[in-house]
């Protein structure tokens, strides 16, 4: 039975234009996040299927997905964490370190032919240990506009290069808490994305240092190759692949003290921040939502469902019985062996002289041979 069918109530976490998110519990008490898509929206089942089957660390764990009442849904393990939007701006070393971990996950998925397609601060959570978790794969549209690559808005499918552009925009957001490509409407954002080559993120960052941004001017030169390699309008002008990005991030992180005390201190502070937010969220009242339609559906369609299940079980049993019968009743290999053995046996008989074949018969039957007759 589908887990989603057993869920009767939950808490609304977020309701957006694409879908509503609920925190729910299965009958066993395990918490899940249910993403219930609004009518007319859906996800790429190929990508979601690949994620559900994969064991790549750093992504959400999909328990099941499909359609219920005409609405697409994805049910995944509830992440006890905080959306990266809430944690921005982040300290530089921590942001670099976290981005590198995200890149590692994306590179692993890329080997399986999976691109995210909608990388944004909202789709990366940090769990209570500070580990990033990627959510919301398989988007069918261009993704979150302010973080989309220019070619995605033109209708191109998700790709490694497009994901890299989004990572650039995401990284800027993590450092500043502001969107690099913001605008009042779709056209304005699209125009900014198209003219991304004219945008100088370092200049914007430099301008924010005076207003309290925790970046030193000397750090900006470390970021220059990242912006150039990620935020180019032409995909061909971006970094070759995620592995190359990882190398740049490593260089930048090393310049920031690598995995040393500096990063450890920042991670510890972020951990405190995450715990604080989780604690605060825990006390926040959530809208209690009932899913009576699941129950009704269950009751309404119960006889049909039972009938279908019974038919499926019956068909399965018939197939299993046929397989077992065939496996027991006939094995070409043993029959082939029998044929070969018999053929060999008879060819021996056919090839032997008569006296060899019937060694005792002539004596036994006391027959007269021509030789004996002659004698």
- The residues binding another protein (CB under 8 A) are 1, 306, 309-310, 313, 316-317, 320, 323-324, 327-331, 333-335, 337-338, 340-342, 345-346, 348-350, 353-355, 357-361, 363-371, 373-374
The CB-of-311 to another protein minimum distance in angstroms stands at: 11
Task: Identify which of residues 14 and 348 has a Cβ nearer to another protein in the complex.
Answer: 348
Q: Are 223 and 205 in contact (CB under 8 A)?
A: yes
The answer to whether the peptide bond before residue 115 is cis (omega within 30 degrees of 0) is no
Task: Identify which of residues 12 and 323 has a Cβ nearer to another protein in the complex.
Answer: 323
Beta bridge partners of 290: 9
Distances (CA, A) of 364 to 88, 323, 360: 106, 52, 6
Between CA 140 and CA 159 the distance in angstroms is 13
Between CA 298 and CA 285 the distance in angstroms is 29
Question: Which run of H or of E encompasses 242?
Answer: helix 242-255
Q: Are 23 and 36 in contact (CB under 8 A)?
A: no
The CB-of-66 to another protein minimum distance in angstroms stands at: 18
- Count of all residues that appear for the chain in the document: 375
Other Cβ atoms less than 10 A from the Cβ of 95: the count is 25
- Residue whose structure tokens are 């959510």: 135
Task: Identify which of residues 264 and 340 has a Cβ nearer to another protein in the complex.
Answer: 340
The CB-of-332 to another protein minimum distance in angstroms stands at: 10
Between CA 195 and CA 188 the distance in angstroms is 11
The token pair at 350 is 């056919």
The CB-of-334 to another protein minimum distance in angstroms stands at: 5
The CB-of-2 to another protein minimum distance in angstroms stands at: 12
Task: Identify which of residues 155 and 359 has a Cβ nearer to another protein in the complex.
Answer: 359
The CB-of-34 to another protein minimum distance in angstroms stands at: 22
The CB-of-372 to another protein minimum distance in angstroms stands at: 9
Task: Identify which of residues 111 and 366 has a Cβ nearer to another protein in the complex.
Answer: 366
Question: Which run of H or of E encompasses 37?
Answer: strand 31-37
Assign 265 to helix, strand or coil. Answer: helix
Task: Identify which of residues 286 and 313 has a Cβ nearer to another protein in the complex.
Answer: 313
Between CA 311 and CA 299 the distance in angstroms is 19
The CB-of-304 to another protein minimum distance in angstroms stands at: 14
Task: Identify which of residues 261 and 334 has a Cβ nearer to another protein in the complex.
Answer: 334
Task: Identify which of residues 57 and 319 has a Cβ nearer to another protein in the complex.
Answer: 319
Between CA 94 and CA 267 the distance in angstroms is 6
Between CA 26 and CA 10 the distance in angstroms is 10
Task: Identify which of residues 286 and 311 has a Cβ nearer to another protein in the complex.
Answer: 311
The CB-of-370 to another protein minimum distance in angstroms stands at: 5
Distances (CA, A) of 185 to 181, 191, 219, 290: 11, 10, 33, 35
The CB-of-36 to another protein minimum distance in angstroms stands at: 24
Would strands 19-25 and 9-15 be described as parallel, antiparallel, or unpaired? antiparallel
């Amino acid at each position: 039975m589908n887990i989603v069918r057993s869920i009767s109530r939950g808490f609304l976490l977020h309701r957006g234009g694409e879908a509503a998110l609920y925190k729910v519990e299965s009958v066993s008490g395990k918490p899940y996040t249910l993403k219930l898509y609004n009518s007319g929206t859906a996800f790429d089942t190929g990508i979601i299927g690949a994620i559900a089957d994969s064991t790549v660390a750093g992504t959400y764990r999909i328990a099941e997905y499909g359609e219920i009442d005409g609405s697409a849904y994805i049910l995944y393990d509830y992440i006890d964490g905080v959306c990266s939007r809430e944690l921005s701006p982040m300290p530089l070393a921590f942001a670099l370190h976290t981005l590198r971990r995200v890149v590692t996950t994306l590179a692993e998925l890329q080997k399986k032919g999976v691109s995210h397609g909608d990388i944004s601060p909202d789709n990366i959570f940090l769990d209570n240990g500070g580990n990033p978790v990627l959510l919301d794969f398989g988007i069918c549209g261009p993704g979150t506009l302010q973080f989309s690559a220019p070619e995605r808005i033109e209708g191109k499918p998700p790709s490694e290069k497009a994901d890299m552009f989004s990572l650039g925009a995401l990284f800027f957001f993590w450092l500043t808490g502001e969107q690099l490509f913001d605008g009042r409407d779709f056209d304005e954002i699209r125009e900014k994305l198209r003219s991304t080559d004219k945008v100088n993120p370092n200049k914007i960052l430099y301008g924010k240092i005076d207003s309290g941004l925790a970046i030193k001017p000397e750090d900006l030169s470390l970021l220059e190759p990242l912006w150039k390699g990620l935020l180019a309008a032409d995909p061909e002008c971006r970094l070759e692949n995620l592995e190359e990005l990882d190398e740049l991030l490593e260089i930048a992180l090393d310049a920031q003290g690598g995995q040393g005390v500096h990063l450890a201190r920042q991670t510890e502070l972020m951990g405190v921040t995450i715990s604080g937010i989780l604690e605060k969220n825990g006390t926040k009242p959530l809208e209690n939502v009932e899913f009576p339609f699941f129950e009704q559906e269950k009751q309404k369609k119960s006889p049909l469902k039972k009938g279908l299940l019974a038919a499926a079980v019956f068909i399965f049993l018939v197939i299993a019985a046929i397989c077992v019968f065939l496996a027991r009743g006939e094995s070409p290999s043993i029959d082939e062996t029998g044929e070969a053995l018999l053929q060999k046996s008879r060819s021996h008989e056919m090839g032997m002289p008569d006296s060899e074949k019937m060694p005792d018969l002539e004596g036994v039957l006391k027959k007269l041979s021509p030789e004996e007759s002659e004698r």
